[in-house]
Amino acid sequence: MANLTQASRELFSRPPDERFESVDELLRHCQSLRQSSTDRWQLPQTFRPSANADRLVLALGDDGAFHLNPGAPGFTQLCGMAGIAKETINRLSPETASRALQETLPTADKPVQILTMDHSIRSIHGVSYTRLWNEELLRMVRDVAVDFQPPPKGFNGATGLYCGEQDMFLFMIDPTGWTEIGGQNFAPGFFGWNSEVGRRSIGVTTFWYQSVCANHICWQCADVTTVTRKHTRSVGDALTEIRVAINQLVDKRDAARDQFVATIRKAMNEPTGDKEETLHILADHGINRPLAKKAVELAASRGQRFTIWSVVDALTQLSRDSKYAASRVEADQRASALLALAA
């Protein structure tokens, strides 16, 4: 079974001002950010970089001048539009940096969307980018995951609920959802994430775990499923897909709990045959031979006989070890589909 470390990475990387005590507190913060933010549409040739004292500012046509924070996504995105590395701009004086940007920013026929907050620029995107607000994701999660709550606080006091300048992340569990499967106890949980400024996709990972430590590592996780979408025109569909994923988790916990337990128990005992027979089953379910061979070898190295569960467990572990998000998502989905053999 897999050990999930996403929440642990967040625990160690988030400063105190990006941590929140409850979903309601996080929601109020995200509502405030949305209310304070404004989308502006300007042709890039109307941008006017300039120096204001010791700061770099960007005038947007008749909308006024806005500060460019070197640590904000908008600064990185502006440098990308100009074709200059942000590290280079950061080494220049504000006067020299503004002249460099003036001479390298492109012209275009289509406007650019600039997200501002107060007197600062949060992000800059082309017309293909479609924003989904953190508030929208949180409202949906609060409506669907009624009995879920943040995990016990981590060793540094963080709750698993985070929101900063770049993105938002939440870690939720149902502490009352424990059920016994094959002599082992599992409870449901999920991770959710989004970025209003293009830092990351929107998505959710649902799972059943055996324990969560003070480092917020989820140990011995089963039935790991990930749904993710980029911020393109159809990003609004992500809310529906994430709602479905969480609903499926809730259904397994509630109305379908007995069937879920029976499926996992059967998967633990349902043989897939010898090595070659197991490879054929994996191939029939769309798993490429190199990955299938690694899964079979991993199951064998653990001294396990070849069952649906041992193979799904091995596939899940291999997906966690992949450095490519797309590969992890695909492997998780393929592994989850194999459980249908035991239904």
Q: Which two tokens stand for residue 313?
A: 């467990």
User: What's the domain count of the chain?
Assistant: 3
Closest Cα to residue 317, out of 248, 231, 219? Answer: 219
Model pLDDT for residues 115-133, shown as the tens digit of each residue: 999 889 999 998 889 999 9
Q: Are residues 154 and 25 in the same domain?
A: yes
Residue with the bigger pLDDT between 203 and 53: it is: 203
- Does 166 map to a domain? yes
Same-domain pairing of 83 and 194:
no
**pTM of the model as a whole:** 0.74
- Which one has a higher pLDDT value, 253 or 21? 21
For residue 103, is it within any domain? yes
Closest CA to 80 of 121, 126, 119: 126
Q: Say whether both 70 and 181 belong to one domain.
A: no
Distance CA 71, CA 201 (A): 19
Q: Are residues 25 and 144 in the same domain?
A: yes
Give per-residue pLDDT as tens, 198-242: 989 999 999 999 999 999 999 989 889 999 999 988 888 889 999
Percent of the chain with pLDDT over 90: 49
Confidence class for position 256, pLDDT limits 50, 70, 90 = very low
Which domain range does residue 300 map to? 256-343
Q: Is 170 found in the same domain as 241?
A: yes
- Domain assignment of residue 116, yes or no: no
Domain boundary among 224, 252, 280: 252
Contacts of 79 (CB under 8 A, 6+ apart): 85, 86, 89, 101
Residues 163 and 187 in one domain: yes
Domain identity same for 162 and 293: no
Last residue of a domain, one of 93, 109, 125: 109
Q: What is the mean pLDDT of residues 51-57?
A: 86
Same domain? 316 vs 231: no
Which residue, of 227, 252, 277, is where some domain finishes? 252
Buried b (16+ CB within 10 A) or exposed e, 110-143: eebbbbbbeebbbbbbeeebebbbbbbbbbbbee
